[in-house]
Amino acid sequence: QVQLVQSGAEVKKPGASVKVSCKASGYTFTSYYMHWVRQAPGQGLEWMGIINPSGGSTSYAQKFQGRVTMTRDTSTSTVYMELSSLRSEDTAVYYCARKGRGCPTCGMDVWGQGTTVTVSS
Amino acid sequence: DIQMTQSPSSLSASVGDRVTITCRASQSISSYLNWYQQKPGKAPKLLIYAASSLQSGVPSRFSGSGSGTDFTLTISSLQPEDFATYYCQQSYSTLVAFGQGTKLEIK
């Protein structure tokens, strides 16, 4: 079945970096874009950026420009999101979610289970 | 950037009620509007895409309408499992944006 499986919870100190993985299975990896969305405790959904697994091109939300890097490994059907210079406000659940390529009106139809990142000294 | 504004932020309703949630975009987004449901501790679930198309497996009591800047999500007869938080999301721009969410609570 189609699924996205994310890496486990992380605890990081302020100023450190975190790299979260999202492994896709059950579909053609390069046929779907992958979004990253985060949710701080008790807050709403915040879009971080998108990667095209086919060519590796990315677009990031302005808020995260310079701090976020999204990459992919087509050999393992895995995308990665790395966030640097962590601060306490980055404490959140981070989700990956796929969206069909060539389908501009499509929504994010499959989501990972979420990865909790806690930033604390 | 395109901003998305939902109303109300919270809503109390009873089982069997008809409920409408509104989402407004800061500029025209044609029909590039999606709706999601999120329950506590769970990932969001896609309900409606392209403003009015029902995602596979989603009950028909959910419907969406609108185009341009104004959109609505309607639940025709609330069921106990529908109490959750709902988000709209625009996909008109590469720089995606979500609304702030509407929490639907039991009256």
pLDDT in tens, B52-106: 999 999 999 999 999 999 999 999 999 999 999 999 999 998 899 999 999 999 8
pLDDT reported for residue A38: 98
Q: What tokens does B65 get? A: 């309408």
Q: Do A107 and B100 touch (CB under 8 A)?
A: no
Say which residues have a Cβ less than 8 Å from residue A55's Cβ, sequence separation at least 6.
Answer: none
Measure B2 CA to nearest chain A CA, in Å. Answer: 12
Tell me the average pLDDT across B45-55.
96
Q: What is the pLDDT of residue B107?
A: 87
- How many helices (H) and strands (E) chain A has is answered by 0, 11
**B100 inside 8 A of chain A by CB:** yes
By the 10 Å C-beta count (0-12 exposed, 13-18 middle, 19+ buried), B79 is classed as exposed
Q: What is the pLDDT of residues A35-62, one digit of tens each?
A: 999 999 999 999 999 999 999 999 999 9
- Whether A45 sits inside 8 A of B34 (CB atoms) is no
Tell me the nearest-neighbour CA distance from B78 into chain A, angstroms: 23
What residues contact B46, with CB distance under 8 A and at least 6 apart? A107, A108, A109, B34, B35, B36, B55, B58
pLDDT attached to residue A104: 82
Backbone angles phi, psi at A80, to 5 degrees: -130, 145
**A105 near B CB under 8 A:** yes
Please measure the distance between the N-terminal and C-terminal CA atoms of chain B and give it in whole angstroms.
36
**Interface contact B91-A61, CB threshold 8 A:** no
Please judge whether B99 and A62 are an interchain contact, meaning their C-beta atoms are less than 8 angstroms apart: no
Give the closest of B87, B91, B94 to A59, CB-based: B94
Low-confidence ranges of chain A (pLDDT < 50): none
Task: Show residues of chain A in contact with B98, CB under 8 Å.
Answer: 37, 44-47
Task: Say whether A45 and B49 touch across the interface (CB within 8 A).
Answer: no
Torsion of CA A83, A88, A89, A94, to 10 degrees: 50
Would you call B49 an interface residue with chain A, using a CB distance cutoff of 8 Å?
A: yes
Whole-number percent of chain A with pLDDT over 90: 94
